[in-house]
Structure formats: C-alpha cells, structure tokens
Amino acid sequence: MAEETNPANPDETKMQGEAGGKEPAAKEAAPKAEAAKEAASKEAAPKRPAAKKIAKPKKDQAAPAAGAPENLSLSSEEVDKPKIVKAKGSKNVHSGVAHVLATFNNTIVTITDMKGNVIGWSSAGKVGFKGSRKSTAYAAQMVAQDASRQAMGHGLKEVEVLVRGPGAGRESAVRALQAIGLDLTVIRDVTPVPHNGCRPPKQRRV
C-alpha cells in the first residue's frame, strides 16, 4: 500500500504513508483512554449507591421503634399484667383478704393474709393522683394493681374481697384485682349501716 504512487503528486504517497502510520496508533490510544474512563466511572459509581443502601435500613429501623409507643394504651378497660418480683422476705401466702375502702375523696386497697397481717397496700395518693382525680374509677383501678403486685410478690393467688364505702372506685377496683390474675373466692359489701344510732349529718349540698 505504501509503494503506490500518484503520478500527478508524488509527495502525496508520503503523506498517506505517514497518516496511515499515525492512524492505528491513535486508534490504539483511544480505546485505552475510554477503558480507563469507564474503569474510573465504575469505581466512583458504586460508592454512592452503597452509602444510600446503608442509610435506608437505619431509617426503616428507626420508624418502628418510634411507632411502638403509640400502640400502647392505658384505657380503663384494658389492664396490663404487671411484672411480679418476689419480695425479699417472701411469706409464701397463697390466700388472703383484699380490703377495698372507696370513699368520696379517695380509694385505699389493703391486702392481708387470713390472720390480718398486711402483705401489700396502696392508695390513690401513693400511686400519684392528686385532688379530684383521687376519687375516680381509673385511680381505683391503678391502686388495685399496685397493691396486688405487692401481694403477689409474697405468693398470693386467691383472695376474698371486702368492699366498704360508697365511692366511685368500688367496682373498678374489684375488676382490676380479677384482671391481674387473682382468683376471687368471695366478694362482700361490709359498709357499716347504723340501726338509727347517731343523728346523721345535715344533707350534703353539691
């Protein structure tokens, strides 16, 4: 190919030969440069998506953790069974008596063994209620849970319930005792009723 000459322009053969020699070298250099660019782009490209993939699971993990507390409900109908920790001086009392005093201003629950020795007690003020909230049915439920948790630490399983007073927490305290897991053998109302003894106080104005 280099020996062919153009009779009109003999110098043209030299130019073609020189161009022919340069073209393959340029063609060889071009694919090397393209391959180097592709390798560099491949090395740089995977790094960005890898960081995104690592970041996504963290967001997914954080979302359920934040949403978990929203599912918890403390309604008066649903009673969560508390964790029962065995008391240090455990008395191994299987059966006892729950005394529920429900007044207009407060609710007090005292749990004793069959002889009358106190195993656990609680009141609306002890649980954390103040003012008019102490006399509510919800406060009575929390009081019963607290007292029964203390008593169950001593091994209490079945209980007799003695209810005294006209307050709003009468029924809710008894239901809370049953919902926690205690077996109620007897429920008695022991509110003291006078047989026309002392003169009653004047009528209450509300």
User: In the block, which residue shows the tokens 């970041």?
Assistant: 55
pLDDT at residue 34 above 80?
Answer: no
Stretch 61-74: mean pLDDT: 46
β pairing state of 118-123 and 158-164: unpaired
Please provide the DSSP assignment of 65-80 as one string.
HHHHHHH----SS--P
Residue-wise pLDDT tens digits, 70-97? 444 445 455 555 566 665 666 788 999 9
Nearest to 83 by CA among 182, 139, 153: 153
Sheet holding 107-113, edge to edge: 118-123, 107-113, 95-102, 158-164, 183-189
Residue-wise pLDDT tens digits, 83-134? 666 656 667 889 999 999 999 999 999 999 999 999 999 999 999 999 999 9
b vs e for 118-137, b when ≥16 Cβ sit within 10 Å of the residue's Cβ?
Answer: ebbbbbbeebebeeeebbbb
Average model confidence (pLDDT) across the chain: 76
Please report which confidence band the pLDDT of residue 58 belongs to, taking 50, 70 and 90 as the band edges: low
8 A C-beta contact, residue 113 and residue 145? no
Distance (Å, whole) CA 34 – CA 40: 10
pLDDT at residue 1 above 80?
Answer: no
Stretch 35-44: mean pLDDT: 61
Q: Which two tokens stand for residue 38?
A: 């592709």
Cβ atoms within 10 A of the Cβ of 170, count? 20
8 A C-beta contact, residue 137 and residue 156? no
pTM of the entire predicted model: 0.56
pLDDT top residue among 158 and 13: 158
Write down the pLDDT at residue 196: 92
Q: What is the DSSP letter of 196?
A: S
Cβ atoms within 10 A of the Cβ of 101, count? 20
Measure the CA angle with vertex 85, ends 141 and 116; round to 5°: 65
3-state secondary structure of 163: strand
Q: How far is CA 176 from CA 7, 88, 197, in A?
A: 117, 25, 35
Please report which confidence band the pLDDT of residue 68 belongs to, taking 50, 70 and 90 as the band edges: very low
pLDDT top residue among 177 and 5: 177
Distance (Å, whole) CA 109 – CA 121: 6
pLDDT top residue among 3 and 135: 135
